[in-house]
Amino acid sequence: MNFIRRFIRSLDEMIFPPVCEVCGIALTGRRYTCEACQQELDLLLAQPACPTCASSPGPYMSPDGRCLICRSRRFHFDGTVRVAPYMQPFESLVLQFKFGRREYLDRLLVDYLMAALDQAPWRSEIEAFVPVPTHWFRKATGGFLPVPVITKYLAQRVGIPDILLLQRTRLDPHQIGLSITQRINNVKGSFRVRPGAGIDGACICVVDDVMTSGATLDEIAKTLKRAGAARVYNLILARAGQPEAELPLRENVSAKT
């Protein structure tokens, strides 16, 4: 009996480890974060976001619902919902999941994704979830693939199929330290739709972990629409970057005057 109880407790601790996933303090009960970290998380989750690019709009939202970024760039996707901005403490949860061997956090992150998705006005249109693809070389060299993992689990929970519709034509180009224009050029032609996919008129929801400039998701939406998709939306864990930092210099200056 003791053995069974111990076994159940160790299973429980695998799902709900006894420390806060953000700050590491000891916890009691079935939860992922301490009270203080949860309060900060709740504040982040409640922050408004641009319905098109999911950035935090600040005071610059236009009456038609476009943020400064969307007024200076025209994206190929039709909308984006995020769980939270890519800031602490949510940033820690995402990093722990991706790189910290905390794969059990998929339950929590998919709960958050489902709650974000329920807020999307296009929720009922979606016919398939499509993960941002991983290059075959990265798959072959092993390692944890966070985006396909959460997409698969999300699809099971929501009851909409997930389809590995896209292929990368080259190894993920490095985007760090590049300007917006360089990022856009860097991902051009990086994706193709698998032959025989048959997505004419389809409404697709692309799933990703962290959206930074939006260049990758934009290239994917362009690729899917060229292959026949009618509408492409994005569901992301986190949106990085400040709107002002992403704008072309002239727009940036005029926004402040």
Residues that bind Zn ion (CB under 5 A): 20, 22-23, 34, 37, 50, 52-53, 67, 69-70
Q: Return the closest-CA partner of residue 184 out of 224, 226, 212.
A: 212
Task: Identify the H or E element spanning 191.
Answer: strand 191-193
What is the C-alpha end-to-end distance of the chain, expressed in Å? 72
Beta bridge partners of 236: 82, 208
- Name which of 70 and 224 has its Cβ closer to Zn ion: 70
- Name which of 32 and 191 has its Cβ closer to Zn ion: 32
Residues in the chain: 257
Write down the least CB distance from residue 163 to Zn ion, Å. 27
- Name which of 50 and 105 has its Cβ closer to Zn ion: 50
Write down the least CB distance from residue 36 to Zn ion, Å. 6
- Name which of 111 and 172 has its Cβ closer to Zn ion: 111
Write down the least CB distance from residue 21 to Zn ion, Å. 8
Write down the least CB distance from residue 114 to Zn ion, Å. 23
Q: Return the closest-CA partner of residue 169 out of 133, 140, 141, 209.
A: 133
Asked if residue 207 lies in contact with residue 165, where contact means CB atoms within 8 angstroms, the answer is no
Q: At 21, give phi and psi (nearest 5°).
A: -70, -15
- Name which of 52 and 190 has its Cβ closer to Zn ion: 52
DSSP code, position 188: T
Write down the least CB distance from residue 72 to Zn ion, Å. 10
- Which pairing describes strands 191-193 and 166-168: parallel, antiparallel, or unpaired? antiparallel
